Amino acid sequence: MSSSSAFDPQVAVQLLRELRELTADSHGAQRVAFTEVWRRARSWFEGKLVGLPVEFHRDAAGNDWVTLQGASDKVLILGSHLDSVPNGGWLDGALGVLAGLAILSYFAKQALPPPVTLRLVDWADEEGARFGRSLFGSSAFAGTYSIDADRSRTDRNAISLESALRENGIEIDQIGDAAIERANACAYLELHIEQGPVLEKLGLSLGAVTGTKGVERHAIVFQGQEAHSGSTPMGMRRDALAAAAKLALEIRSIAIKHPDAVCTIGSLKTFPGIVTAVVGRAEATLDQRDLDAHVLEQMYREARDASERFAAEEGCSVEWSRIWNIEPVPFHPHLIELCEESIRETVGRSHRLPSGPLHDAAEVARLGIPTTMMFVQSLGGISHNRIEDTRETDLLLAVRAFYSLVEKTMGWIVSQPD
């Protein structure tokens, strides 16, 4: 195996720039999964493999796999996603795939094979931007998909997920066959932008990710009584907005009791929603996240109790319905340590942080495959926006540290008993 000094992280940054040129317009990246621009990105990616001693194929769920056979059949998977949200950033997902491509290409060009088999995966539809189903490809790999629910999904133009999949060569009934790709997987690593402000605030370039937070996501409807804003005395109102406003403030008190917890009301809709009527119905969404399942359960219970108290105070009723939830997924302790080591060796200081956003890595980790992620600082903590950015110096440090983590992880895999 070659020494890491010869690895050039600039290769990955150059690939990112090429991809941006190919798939972004003035509004940002347009690599929405199952669209033409996404297919263009993937063709370009496949073209980068020409002349390398690697095997390429697309699995039953549309994930693209590149395999470089190593001295051992044991597999280290590197992965992320080329798809983006509409008007997205140039790094979200693409960084992990193209850092992986730079690393895999580097190993492929060495005289000797790597100690373990190295695989790179571009997961299909991480974002779920078009059909509202995120982690599509990785959940098929992990066996957590639900074909019945997915079959009924449609986009804004009433095109079904099923037909969009077929247009992309994927049969919805077959996606579970992606499980075959798990064979011999011994570890999974993913490099990603943080998409939050923590590293920037701490003045750090890189962080080791301890896991992905569990999420409780609910729709909450307060029902009061629509009434004329001019003729209804303050004391005779059943104002659904007042109940919702109290909850919007209370969820912050609920969250700040726990160091890493977050609670967010991201959408609040008022009905009839006109200037001359007391709000009769307020519809809110609540998103709660923590790495500790007990904390998550406690926060959910507290928010629910508070909403019932506020509804009673305002003469309203309240109903909750779960939109979606996922348990916290802690990453592998030893891989987190290796990640910290790589970061410290590259930039001097490291920091552990949980991921609030979900990632394909969570699906892989839930399956029991040792997993961790590395985060690189996001400027302003902004993502899902064309202004998403990371300093080039930080990108180069990230790719270099991630390369180091790959080396360390290969060593760890080799050291494990069969």
315 interacts with a copy of itself by CB under 8 A: no
Cα 52 vs. chain centroid, distance in angstroms? Answer: 29
Site for a copy of itself in 285-304 (CB under 8 A): 285, 287, 289
- Based on CB atoms, which residue is closest to a copy of itself, 22 or 312? 312
Give least dist CB 170 to a copy of itself, A: 25
Question: Using the rule CB under 8 A, is 175 a contact of a copy of itself?
Answer: no
Per DSSP bridges, beta strands 28-29 and 24-25 are antiparallel
Only one of the segments 6-14, 160-168, 261-269, 391-399 lies at the binding site for a copy of itself (rule: CB under 8 A); that segment is 261-269
Chain Cα centroid distance, residue 71: 32
Q: Which is nearer to a copy of itself, 82 or 244 (CB)?
A: 244
Q: In terms of CB distance, is 104 or 215 closer to a copy of itself? A: 215
109 HSE (CA, 13 A, CB side) = 13
> 115-154: which residues touch a copy of itself (CB under 8 A)?
none
- Closest to 96 measured CA to CA, from 407, 372, 393, 382: 372
Cis geometry, peptide bond prior to residue 272 (ω within 30 degrees of 0): yes
Instruction: Tell whether residue 87 is a contact of a copy of itself (CB under 8 A).
Output: no
Which single residue is written with the structure tokens 């605030």?
201
Task: Kindly state the helix (H) or strand (E) to which residue 355 belongs, with its residue range.
Answer: strand 352-355
Residue closer to a copy of itself, measured from CB, 147 or 249:
249
Is the Cβ of residue 46 or residue 260 nearer to a copy of itself in the bound state? 260
Token pair for 53: 């001693």
Closer to a copy of itself at the Cβ: 51 or 266?
Answer: 266
Q: Contact, 88 vs 198, CB < 8 A?
A: no
**Among residues 266, 321, 348, 418, the one that binds a copy of itself under rule CB under 8 A:** 266
Lay out the site mask for a copy of itself across 196-235 (x = CB under 8 A, - = otherwise): xxx--x-----------x-x-x--------xxxxxxxxxx
Residue 112 or 274: the one with the smaller Cβ distance to a copy of itself is 274
**245 contacts a copy of itself (rule: CB under 8 A):** yes
| CA within 13 Å, CB half, 153 | 19
CB atoms within 10 A of CB 344: 14
Decide if residue 277 touches a copy of itself (CB under 8 A). Answer: yes
Compose the 323-342 pattern: x for residues touching a copy of itself by CB under 8 A, - for all others. Answer: x-------------------
Q: What residues contact residue 201 under an 8 Å CB cut-off, 6+ apart? A: none
Choose the stretch contacting a copy of itself; rule: CB under 8 A; options: 65-73, 75-83, 116-124, 382-390: 382-390
Number of helices and strands in the chain (H, E): 12, 17
DSSP string, 107-154: HHTSSS--SEEEEEEE-S-SS-TTTS--SHHHHHHHT---HHHHHT-B
Pick the closer one to a copy of itself by CB: 79 or 328: 328
User: Do residues 405 and 181 lie in contact, with contact meaning Cβ atoms separated by under 8 Å?
Assistant: no
Which range touches a copy of itself (CB under 8 A), out of 29-37, 96-104, 156-164, 277-285? 277-285
183 CA to centre of own chain: 24
Size of the site for a copy of itself (CB under 8 A): 62
Residues that bind a copy of itself (CB under 8 A): 194-198, 201, 213, 215, 217, 226-236, 241-242, 244-246, 248-249, 252, 255-256, 260-270, 272-279, 285, 287, 289, 323, 355-358, 381-385
